[in-house]
Structure 1
């Protein structure tokens, strides 16, 4: 069996976790701080806050922004459900817009969706390929858009425009204009879930890059307190003799990351340059082979301004329908190779259908979805396994298409 996305666990990871267990301190403490520092070094920004999941981090940031009932957050329809659910949990309304051929949010669609109720735009770096940050930033900073902005909280008034959040769940290690993700928007949130390039089993990391007059170092402290029920001292600080007294300063959440989790990611991120290089080589191998086939659409990996984190390999197949795509997946799976689909567009999911979202409003998202198959891509994938995946995918495609041809 070739699994789809197993976590990268080696002796260094095990040693780091055991060190945390033996230290006697397993919840938020020094390893979380060290992981924050390492992520900050990787992206080139100093204020990084680790939390227990991407979802909880996004909910907290939208609550911090001060969403009120009826406030809108623009998101792409081609994303995982958490992007929309975070908006709803924070009290807002997700406004879904269509995507481009590269799976990322359509800039014109953002512009058409902005209303006086729009409080944030949350783009998604699908599969780790950066969206067009400069175009979105330019749009949100334009006089026309700013003139229609209606702030309803002190944070929004201080910002004076729509907040730009990056759902960077896939893109730790990606590059935009020679910089790490986080430099071209206000807030970026990475996922450190079990299937991500760097994992803490469950976890997330918030990159704080707010413009003046915000002080990002002070904001880090405020948000860190907010992850701990707005308690003025964390458990590690309180454990230092005689330092027990604390206060609760607001309505926070309990979403801190634990040291025992941070230890996994800490060991991995120290090896990340080599891990990322291996992901890139696998991606290039897939692209080289599928480029030879007139029915295959290879995913983007880099351009003049962008380089992916190579988190997913979303192969698309020309001129097939959803049923044929599913048949190909079934045949590949029967050969003991695990593949996947990223993602089912949000308007196709029952919950969002019930809220009135319609897939007919998202034609490109639907076209991308019905033809997409995600192939395994991870550092420990063997070369012979890559060759087998490519051969099996081609064979299964030809088998399905041959069957279709015979029935026509």
Structure 2
């Protein structure tokens, strides 16, 4: 009987952290402070210190972070924001919900935004670039920053999958005006439900987002502008404070697993992600590419190995995006990748034997 290798292993995570989580629950319920207060400010200080930013703002989700980042920098109806079609839908959805128009451009071989395509897509209505650091690998931010400076554009980094990633020694979320992050349970830094945050060096922007996350209130009885309810629960904040202490270890375990995959998978039909010298990739996901993706995935499932596809249908081909005017063939590299990508287990609870089991199954499928 095949040994089951989970794509994620929440039971194992809970077994390792049960005492810590129970202590967090007890602390919050004993205090009676469920919304706002000192633990939110403590988490924000810890996140800013880790990221190397002056400010961090705790929010209800990564989607909230994107939405309030765009609102905070003044993106309005009629503005254009350039981003990619191969991310989770929230990257584009946040642009749509502030009334702006998403301009989708193609990607490079590394799955991240193609800077040349960005420059070609700029119009007089362009206000911002929203690069997505997909898989935990940062985009070429030096090139994008140069483009933004030359054209007078803002950069909002979608770092939902990349908190702790670095490019040229500089952290995700510190290259643009603002960085947006998710702490969804699947992320390397994970809460026990939806949670997110943003980072910025702009104190005025951070103050505005803190108002917006709580209906625009500056105190209980004074509303400066109409906002939303995008607050992080204190329970999530307390858990994140504790999990942030072990985040570097989680990154290193995932990087070790990626290195093992690259060493053990020998099939020439499989394209493996590489780590370039200027990058520190945190491997939220480990995505391989192959023309035999669907058959390989079925083979791995029969062997008890869980996999996912991130993401099988690019955003520009989703029904919700029909009004944007894109058709199949508009963004060929992203479309081809969508037919070839397969995400292998990479989580920190995998053993070297687990990685070897996955690699052996892939090699056997291709006769390597």
TM-score (norm 1): 0.83
CA deviation string 1:239-285 (max 9, x = no partner): xxxxxx53011111110101111122221111112121111111110
1:4 aligned residue (7, 15, 27):
7
CA distance in 2, matches of 1:231, 1:26: 18
2:310 aligned residue (330, 337, 342):
342
Matched residue, 1:332 = 300
Matched residue, 1:316 = 289
CA distance in 2, matches of 1:332, 1:134: 39
Matched residue, 2:341 = 372
Matched residue, 1:278 = 253
Distance 1:17 1:357, change over 3 A: farther
CA distance in 2, matches of 1:93, 1:176: 28
Distance 1:388 1:59, change over 3 A: same
How far residue 123 of structure 1 moved from its aligned partner, in angstroms, is 0.2
What secondary structure is seen at the aligned counterpart in 1 of 2:116?
helix
How far residue 398 of structure 1 moved from its aligned partner, in angstroms, is 4.8
Distance 1:80 1:397, change over 3 A: farther
How far residue 25 of structure 1 moved from its aligned partner, in angstroms, is 1.4
Could you tell which deviates more after superposition, 12-21 or 97-106?
Answer: 12-21
1:223 paired to 2:209 = yes
CA deviation string 1:298-329 (max 9, x = no partner): 1123x232111111100112xx2xxx422221
Instruction: Determine which structure has more spread, i.e. the larger CA radius of gyration.
Output: 1
Q: Please give the residue correspondences for 1:2-401 in structure 2 after superposition, counting only pairs within 5 Å.
A: 2-7=5-10, 8-9=13-14, 10=17, 11-142=19-150, 145=151, 161-200=152-191, 201-209=193-201, 216-233=202-219, 246-290=221-265, 292-301=266-275, 303-317=276-290, 320=291, 324-344=292-312, 345-353=314-322, 355-398=324-367
CA distance in 1, matches of 2:231, 2:323: 33
Runs of 4+ residues deviating >4 angstroms: none
CA distance in 2, matches of 1:93, 1:313: 31
Matched residue, 1:156 = none
Gaps of 5+ in 1: 146-160, 210-215, 234-244, 400-408
CA distance in 1, matches of 2:148, 2:190: 32
CA distance in 2, matches of 1:71, 1:354: 16
The answer to whether the Cα contact below 8 Å between 2:60 and 2:194 also exists between their aligned partners in 1 is yes
How far residue 183 of structure 1 moved from its aligned partner, in angstroms, is 2.3
What secondary structure is seen at the aligned counterpart in 2 of 1:164?
strand
Could you tell which deviates more after superposition, 45-54 or 383-392?
Answer: 383-392
CA distance in 2, matches of 1:362, 1:61: 26
Matched residue, 1:151 = none
CA distance in 1, matches of 2:77, 2:181: 27
CA deviation string 1:331-373 (max 9, x = no partner): 2122222101112321232222454222311111122221111
The answer to whether the Cα contact below 8 Å between 2:163 and 2:181 also exists between their aligned partners in 1 is yes
How much is the aligned-residue C-alpha RMSD, in angstroms? 1.8
Distance 1:398 1:350, change over 3 A: farther
Equivalent pairs, count: 358
Matched residue, 1:152 = none
CA distance in 2, matches of 1:281, 1:73: 36
